[in-house]
Amino acid sequence: SYQDDIIVHGPNIELHNERLLKLFRRLCENNVLVNPSKCHFTLSSVSCLGYTVDSEGFRPDASRLAPLIQAPSPNNMSSLRSWIGTLQFYSRFIPNFTQRLSPLFEIVSSKQFKWEQQHENILRKTLEFLNKQAFLRPFSSKDKSVLTTDASPMGIAAVLEQNGQPVICISRRLSKSEQGYSQTQKEALAVVWAIRRLHKYLFGTKFHIVTDHQALKFIYNPEKSLNKSSAAMVQRWSLELSAYDYTIEHRSAKDIPHADFLSRYSLFENAANDTD
């Protein structure tokens, strides 16, 4: 149980110890006792709530992943839903999570359980990625933020990064009506949706948007008004983004860092039919 856990941290040992002494004083003032055998001091990393945190950032707790890696694959709809729910807990680590796991979501949508080799590949490669490569750095308001977005026929996704390292990955499936949007509208939606989701990181700071869709440079150009002939929906999105301080850049998919974070991440190649 974590309800009564206390974690003290500091960027250096001096500040760490200063904070620790303040904690001890506060505990004494309130007559709170702690069990010395359950206390751990000056650790370089700590595991809590399913994550392991150290000075570099945080990753999934290996001890929590081990039972998942050893667990049998789903054999009915109930166990598949349980698996998907578990993986969604770690979705912030996985670029384009929704698109990558779309074949698993499609089984649930069809209401007919049919587990095939492509589904097994997706599940095992996702667990392999979480166990060996998943990593996020903590957000810092002092560092420059880069938001990379992408849209596919079935979903939208984004990665927020600083200093070339991911802070958080987000994604979602498109609704049936959104699937009928033009590709430009889908790409524009990916940007405004990502900024809404990441408002607490982006509002009040200057950040940079990277897209592989050329038209967005003109739709979301912060220095020019959008052409009135554009769809009313896109005009509203452009107006909404005027509250943020950003620049936007087009890059081809091959020039986006980290081997195109969003839709062609090497770990998932050939794990499922690629619809991007």
The verdict on residue 37 lying in a domain is yes
Looking at the fold, whether 88 and 28 belong to one and the same domain comes out as: no
3-state SS string for 132-187: HCCCECCCCCCCCEEEEEEECCCEEEEEEEECCEEEEEEEEECCHHHHCCCHHHHH
The verdict on residue 113 lying in a domain is yes
pLDDT of residue 126: 93
CATH number where 107 lies = 3.30.70
The verdict on residue 49 lying in a domain is no
CA nearest to 263, candidates 125, 98, 112 = 98
DSSP H stretches of helix in the chain: 13-29, 62-70, 77-89, 97-100, 102-110, 117-132, 176-179, 183-197, 199-202, 216-219, 232-241, 257-260
Structural domains in the chain (count): 3
Looking at the fold, whether 241 and 149 belong to one and the same domain comes out as: yes
- Mean pLDDT score across all residues of the chain: 87
Q: d(Cα 88, Cα 69) in Å, to the nearest integer? A: 15
Looking at the fold, whether 122 and 164 belong to one and the same domain comes out as: no
pLDDT of residue 221: 87
Q: d(Cα 253, Cα 137) in Å, to the nearest integer? A: 23
pLDDT of residue 261: 43
pLDDT of residue 11: 86
Looking at the fold, whether 69 and 153 belong to one and the same domain comes out as: no
Looking at the fold, whether 189 and 230 belong to one and the same domain comes out as: yes
Q: Does this model's pTM top 0.85?
A: no
Domain extent, residue 92, equals 62-135
CA angle 50, 257, 69 (to 5 degrees): 30
Q: d(Cα 243, Cα 223) in Å, to the nearest integer? A: 13
The verdict on residue 184 lying in a domain is yes
The verdict on residue 5 lying in a domain is no
pLDDT of residue 222: 79
The verdict on residue 218 lying in a domain is yes
Residues of the chain with pLDDT under 50: 258-276
The verdict on residue 258 lying in a domain is yes
The verdict on residue 276 lying in a domain is no
